[in-house]
């Protein structure tokens, strides 16, 4: 069974401790948003597992957000649907309830001791 922290966070991040101001600094990257919409093209209903504050939820779909962290659910803007309090391993939906899904595919990378890759630094004066 998935271990949850005091605020409900699941997995390897405690958003009760680190996510207090998440919505203030997390802004969607338009290119990523476009890629998500392209990947979900043809879907009408979408489940967003690990929805957080809803940064990448598109109005092009009927989105059902799922977020275990109370801290993150509290930061969702009023125009977005309220997130379901659940974890990925125990979703409260029937099979085939959605046409598409948004998930955290690369979360395992946070557990690696290092990552060989590139870094882009952007600085605005």
- For all residues of the chain together, what is the average pLDDT? 89
| Residue-level pLDDT at 98 | 97
- How far apart CA 76 and CA 57 sit, in angstroms, is 11
Burial class (CB in 10 A: 0-12, 13-18, 19+), 32: exposed
pLDDT in tens, 69-118: 999 999 999 999 999 999 999 999 999 999 999 988 777 777 888 878 77
pLDDT in tens, 29-74: 899 899 999 999 999 999 999 999 999 999 999 999 999 999 999 9
Q: What is the pTM of this model?
A: 0.82
Query: Cβ distance 14 to 7 under 8 Å?
Result: yes
């Amino acid at each position: 069974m998935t271990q949850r922290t005091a605020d409900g966070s699941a997995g390897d991040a405690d958003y009760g401790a680190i996510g207090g101001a998440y919505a203030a600094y997390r802004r969607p990257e338009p290119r990523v948003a476009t890629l998500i919409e392209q990947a979900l093209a043809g879907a009408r209903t979408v489940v967003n597992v690990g929805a957080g504050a809803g940064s990448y939820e598109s109005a092009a779909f009927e989105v059902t957000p799922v977020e275990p962290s109370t801290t993150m659910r509290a930061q969702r803007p009023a125009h977005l649907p309220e997130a379901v309090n659940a974890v990925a391993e125990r979703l409260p939906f029937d099979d085939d309830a959605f046409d598409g899904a948004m998930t955290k595919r690369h979360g395992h990378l946070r557990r690696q001791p290092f990552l060989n890759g590139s870094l882009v630094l952007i600085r605005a004066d």
